[in-house]
Structure 1
Amino acid sequence: MLECVSFKSSTPTTNSSPLPPPSHSHSEGNSAEEFEEDTSATSPNVSGEFHRALEAHSYNEIRSMVQAPPQVHHIDDEDSHHRHVLSQVLQPDSHSVHEALAKAKPKSNLTRLVSTYFYHSETASDFCLRLSRSVHRARHLYAPLSDLLAVLPASAPPLSQPQCDRAYELFLQFDREENPFALSRLHRLRDDFSDLKRDIQRDLRKCHSRIRLFRHSAAGCALCFVAVAAGTVVVASIVFVHAVVGFSALSAAPFCVTRQKRRELARLKQLEAVENGTLVVNDINTIDSLVDRLQTAVEGDKAFVRFALDRGRERHPIQEVLNQLRKNQPVLEHLLGDLEQHIYFCFYSVNMARYALLKAICSHQTP
């Protein structure tokens, strides 16, 4: 069974290393003997730590950290800022997870599944943080055109030549910039979580089967104790026989509920926690759909802009494209807002699942 560690604060150090990719070997070592129990350790006040962490690291705090303006001047600063924000947003952080898995047997199937979940959840948070930067770049891309549309009334007379020249220059600038959502695809991440969920459900079925077997064995063991006790006291008085039989039946159960069964029950709780963590794939599917719609919307606006650019500085095409961009603007902003909200909620869901998994590890550390 996996070991417990104390929870870190919500502001971990920025130099915590990311989790290494999990092993992709699908070991079938599913016996209860794979998991060692630390009988000398005692569980901390996990519930209090868990709730305090959630209260300190709420949805609004995540949004504030992600939206904080970066102080960057070149690409190295931007990468450093990204790692810093990720270390603040992702909880429990990588260092805490490494400590939790440090004493686990590296070849056990449970350790592999838990490690894989933590790796995928960190990858999801990293991707969501990059997507939030894409939202920022999209707003930056549209800002000059939005400013121009703000000073041009919707029912304005034909554009003046200076206005046409200004719009043409902004079109050139808009056309040169890449689509912020061109490479933002979550298909691989979604498939990773789906594969993990399939492996977990397979192990859950095996775990339930073993627990049922332990229950049947315990019942048979108790009957054997009763039979032996009854046979050994057959020459005694009726009252003495009843007393011995009752005592033997009661004392048989603790010996029949073996250490292996306790390990399996603890393992079951951890597998269930990992399975619940894979539900984040629903958030990923929603985000992927929004990203696809945003990519299509930006490409559509780029096509309109290129239509005007192909006709030079002609007033009528420029006027028509500006009118179309004005119509598309509210839809684009609504999609960007929706994507932001789902990104923040995905961060929050990932953190909830990571805390719940560590809580399951801690809660079942002591037999």
Structure 2
Amino acid sequence: MSSFPSPLQTQTRSQHSQGNVASPFPNVLREHENCLCKCLNQICSVLSGNFTDDTPSSSTTQLSPTLNLSHEYSLALQNNSYNEIRHMIEAQMQVENVIEGEVTDTHHLRLSPVLRPNRDCVHQALLHTNPNATLTHLLSTYFDHSENITTLCLMLRQCVSRARTLYAPITHLLQDFPYDPSSIHISQCNSAIDVFTQFDSLDNPFPSPDSHDFNEMHHSFSQLKEQLDHHRNKSLSRFRVLHRATSGSAFCLIGTVVGVAISAVVISTHALAAFVGLVSTSLCPIYVPSHLKKKQLAHMTQLYAAARSGTFFHINHLESIVCLVDLLHSAVKGDRELIRIALKSRDIYLIYEVVKDLRNSRNKFFDKLKELEDHIYFCFDAVNKSRANLVDQIHPHQSSNS
């Protein structure tokens, strides 16, 4: 919550050397501005259904916050699918008791209502693909990763709830604690100490941005994107070689027919004609791709585009979410460091300064908490749209030889 250094922090460096507190994260909002703005552009594209394969150019575009982006963000919050999944998850959280350390199966039971298309639909769609094809394996990997990021988002949504619970007593304290230091009573200081003690005893609700979950998931999506690019380029390269070979065979066939005709007129010996035919057959094999092959190539290209777009969007959502988690994790850590100074000194003036600092930064903290919550729901919506788009690309076709 203490987004910027306060006079209290400056003062405590000189008066309480043993409780020296560095500025928790000065200017951290500006550090994350580009990251969040970049993802906002991608969010607007996802919610408008703009799944295209021009993601490389999008990823390198320099983005900056503008009024238009704010407007698009507001529109995104009113999106029907966004609100539907938000209400679904909030309703689910109200009726379920979240138990720390749940077994995986129970966690997936909570995941199933919000993940669309669900596992069974995905499995049925993949049955229509060649099980031995590399592309089928990559598509299956994408669906697994999309489940993983949804699971992560569910966990972070629970972190948001825990953060609100953690700061609820602080919020009540800020409302009741006097604004004028001369009006503070000892009982109010004791109440503040109790609240601070409770706050300090609880864990930070947000995981470290360097945690294994974030790093591993980002690596998995980045690796999948590279594999999709590599296999797509390899497949297209093979098709171009085949196309050139086919064109060459057609010209070779024409030359052979003409040559045989001339040889039949000029030279009437059967042996020489047979020799010409033999040479033409061995050196100019004729291979004409069928219409089915062309359709399969087009289908394969659509599948690559759908999987790659989803992967790209999820990477950007993940990066934005990690930025916000980093911000909130640091805020809680900074608040705890300030509160520990008050707990150690129990000085009325220091308690007043801590309360003042928390009061000044409260809105910033809850604004970012709400922003993280919004991004979590955006990610849910993007995952479902991407999964549905990919299943739609797979399902109409009964086989794929890619």
Which of 152, 170, 187 is the equivalent residue of 2:195? 170
Alignment-derived partner of residue 111 in structure 2: 86
Q: Which amino acid aligns with 2:196?
A: F
Q: Deviations over 1:198-243 (max 9, x none)?
A: 11111111111122123324433444565677789999xxxxxxxx
CA contact (8 A) 2:85 2:114 kept: yes
What is the count of residue pairs matched by the alignment? 295
Which of 90, 101, 109 is the equivalent residue of 1:67? 90
Q: Does the alignment pair 1:288 with 2:322?
A: yes
Structure 2 unaligned runs (5+)?
1-78, 265-285
Q: Relative to structure 1, is the Cα distance of residues 119 and 57 closer, same or farther in structure 2, using a 3 angstrom cutoff?
A: farther
CA contact (8 A) 1:70 1:81 kept: no
Structure 1 unaligned runs (5+)?
1-55, 236-252
**Following the alignment from structure 1 to structure 2, what is the Cα–Cα distance between the partners of residues 140 and 82?**
22
**Following the alignment from structure 2 to structure 1, what is the Cα–Cα distance between the partners of residues 254 and 87?**
65
Which of 218, 226, 244 is the equivalent residue of 1:216? 244
CA apart distance, 1:108: 2.5
CA contact (8 A) 1:65 1:89 kept: yes
Give the structure-2-normalised TM-score: 0.66
**Following the alignment from structure 1 to structure 2, what is the Cα–Cα distance between the partners of residues 70 and 348?**
20
Q: Relative to structure 1, is the Cα distance of residues 357 and 179 closer, same or farther in structure 2, using a 3 angstrom cutoff?
A: same
CA apart distance, 1:188: 1.3
Alignment-derived partner of residue 345 in structure 1: 378
CA contact (8 A) 1:270 1:361 kept: yes
Which of 359, 364, 380 is the equivalent residue of 1:326? 359
Which of 303, 320, 341 is the equivalent residue of 1:270? 303
**Following the alignment from structure 2 to structure 1, what is the Cα–Cα distance between the partners of residues 179 and 135?**
62
Q: Does the alignment pair 1:182 with 2:207?
A: yes
CA contact (8 A) 2:129 2:398 kept: no
**Following the alignment from structure 2 to structure 1, what is the Cα–Cα distance between the partners of residues 369 and 376?**
11
Q: Does the alignment pair 1:362 with 2:362?
A: no
CA contact (8 A) 1:65 1:85 kept: no
Q: Relative to structure 1, is the Cα distance of residues 91 and 57 closer, same or farther in structure 2, using a 3 angstrom cutoff?
A: farther
CA apart distance, 1:87: 1.2
Q: Name the stretch that deviates more: 154-163 or 269-278.
A: 154-163
**Following the alignment from structure 1 to structure 2, what is the Cα–Cα distance between the partners of residues 103 and 205?**
23
Alignment-derived partner of residue 10 in structure 1: none
**Following the alignment from structure 2 to structure 1, what is the Cα–Cα distance between the partners of residues 336 and 345?**
15
The structure carrying a bigger helix percent of its residues is 2
CA apart distance, 1:362: 2.5
CA apart distance, 1:152: 3.1
CA apart distance, 1:339: 0.6
Q: Deviations over 1:53-106 (max 9, x none)?
A: xxx971111111122243245738977885444212111111111222245444
CA apart distance, 1:278: 0.9
CA contact (8 A) 1:290 1:335 kept: yes
Alignment-derived partner of residue 344 in structure 2: 310
Q: Which amino acid aligns with 2:348?
A: R
Q: Deviations over 1:343-364 (max 9, x none)?
A: 1111111112111111221244
CA apart distance, 1:146: 0.3
Q: Deviations over 1:232-257 (max 9, x none)?
A: 9999xxxxxxxxxxxxxxxxx99533
Alignment-derived partner of residue 207 in structure 1: 235
User: Aligned with 1:256: secondary structure?
Assistant: coil
Aligned residues: CA RMSD: 3.1
CA contact (8 A) 1:287 1:342 kept: yes
**Following the alignment from structure 2 to structure 1, what is the Cα–Cα distance between the partners of residues 166 and 222?**
35
Alignment-derived partner of residue 159 in structure 2: 134
CA apart distance, 1:175: 0.6
Q: Relative to structure 1, is the Cα distance of residues 59 and 232 closer, same or farther in structure 2, using a 3 angstrom cutoff?
A: farther
**Following the alignment from structure 2 to structure 1, what is the Cα–Cα distance between the partners of residues 178 and 247?**
83
Q: Does the alignment pair 1:98 with 2:126?
A: no
Q: Which amino acid aligns with 2:89?
A: V
CA apart distance, 1:317: 1.9
Q: After the TM superposition, which residues 191-202 of structure 1 pair with which residues of structure 2 at under 5 Å, given as runs? A: 191-202=219-230
**Following the alignment from structure 1 to structure 2, what is the Cα–Cα distance between the partners of residues 212 and 255?**
13
User: Aligned with 2:244: secondary structure?
Assistant: helix
Percent identity over the alignment? 36
Q: Relative to structure 1, is the Cα distance of residues 256 and 145 closer, same or farther in structure 2, using a 3 angstrom cutoff?
A: closer
CA contact (8 A) 1:181 1:295 kept: yes
Higher RCO structure (Cα 8 Å, ≥6 apart): 2
Q: Name the stretch that deviates more: 98-107 or 166-175.
A: 98-107
